[in-house]
């Protein structure tokens, strides 16, 4: 009896967001829970849910259990890659990039 091909595990040199492998016709995709997505995006979990609701480009969640939701890693990586770089980000009305961490000196 012939053995079925086994999915290959990603090596440490591969991108964390890459697909694991393809087994026959089926593609095995890794998933991320909401907390992991929030950590990768450097936002709070509530903000991730706001992105799901308000941003049509944000990946749609999938149900992985009765009370469990996750996101496909490759879709989250694609979303991150589609975001503009700092030089392309919106600028303040003075023409300088906005730096929310820096406060103006009080008068």
In the chain, what are the domains? 21-87 (1.10.1660)
**62: Cβ–Cβ under 8 A, 6 or more apart, which residues?**
31, 69, 70, 71, 72
Q: What is the pLDDT of residue 10?
A: 47
Is the predicted pLDDT of residue 54 greater than 50, yes or no? yes
The pTM (predicted TM-score) of the whole model is 0.57
Assess whether pLDDT exceeds 80 at residue 67: yes
pLDDT band of residue 86 (cuts 50, 70, 90) is confident
* 28 vs 86, more confident: 28
Q: Give the C-alpha distances (Å, rounded to integers) separating 44 from 12, 36, 41, 51, 95.
A: 28, 10, 9, 11, 29
Reply yes or no on whether the pLDDT at 47 is more than 80. yes
Mean pLDDT of the chain: 76
User: What's the confidence (pLDDT) of residue 69?
Assistant: 94
């Amino acid at each position: 009896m012939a053995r079925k091909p086994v999915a290959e595990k990603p090596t440490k040199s591969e991108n964390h967001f890459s697909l694991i492998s393809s087994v026959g016709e089926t593609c095995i995709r890794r998933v991320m829970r909401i907390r992991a997505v929030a950590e990768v995006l450097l936002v709070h979990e509530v903000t991730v849910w706001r992105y799901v609701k308000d941003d049509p480009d944000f990946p749609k969640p999938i149900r992985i259990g009765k009370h469990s939701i996750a996101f496909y890693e490759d879709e989250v990586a694609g979303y991150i890659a589609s975001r503009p770089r700092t030089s392309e980000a919106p600028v303040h009305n003075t023409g300088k990039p906005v730096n929310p961490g820096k406060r103006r000196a009080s008068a």
